[in-house]
Amino acid sequence: MLPDVDEAAFETILKFIYMDEVPTMKGCDDDAEKARLNLLTANRFGCTDLKLYMESILIEKFLVPSTVAGMLLLADSHSCALLKEATMNMYASNDWTKLKESNDLLVELLVYATSSRKKYSSVVDDGNGTIDDVDDFDVTSLRERLQQQNVDLDLDGSREILVERWKNYL
């Protein structure tokens, strides 16, 4: 047994090398993880043909908008050029290019995605929080808090507007 090596993925490598057996993937979530593990193991042991094959399988069967970010990170950290190119193409083709029309929105998205802002659930055990906590509430939390107060406050608007309403209420 090798430390930090998935046994099934290692077995796949052995079958690929010695029996010329190509792994089959059906397209389910379990297979996506198997494909990822096969790619990582093939990369670790220098089995380039299997690594490249698993890259193509990940692209063909598992690359969808909901997986693109994770696959981009995987591709970048393990020198998977084909997978990296495919993920970047998916980002570019899925309305990401429209964001360049609004530099402010693009900056806001990047700040939001990289912030270490604490995310609150809709229901917080310690009640409504303090005025210092309000900047960290998510939109659902803000709306629910405003609605629970039975005051005539509009629940529509940007996150910033809802934060300001809550601060004024407190």
Query: 0.85 cut: is pTM over it?
Result: no
Residue range 84-123, pLDDT digits in tens: 989 988 887 766 666 667 777 777 777 767 766 555 444 4
Residue range 17-72, pLDDT digits in tens: 999 999 987 766 789 999 999 999 999 999 988 998 999 999 999 999 888 888 99
> Alpha-carbon distance 131 to 102, whole Å?
31
> Alpha-carbon distance 120 to 134, whole Å?
10
Selection from 81, 91, 43, 87 nearest residue 62 by Cα? 87
> Alpha-carbon distance 40 to 21, whole Å?
18
**DSSP element (H, E) containing 146:** helix 139-148
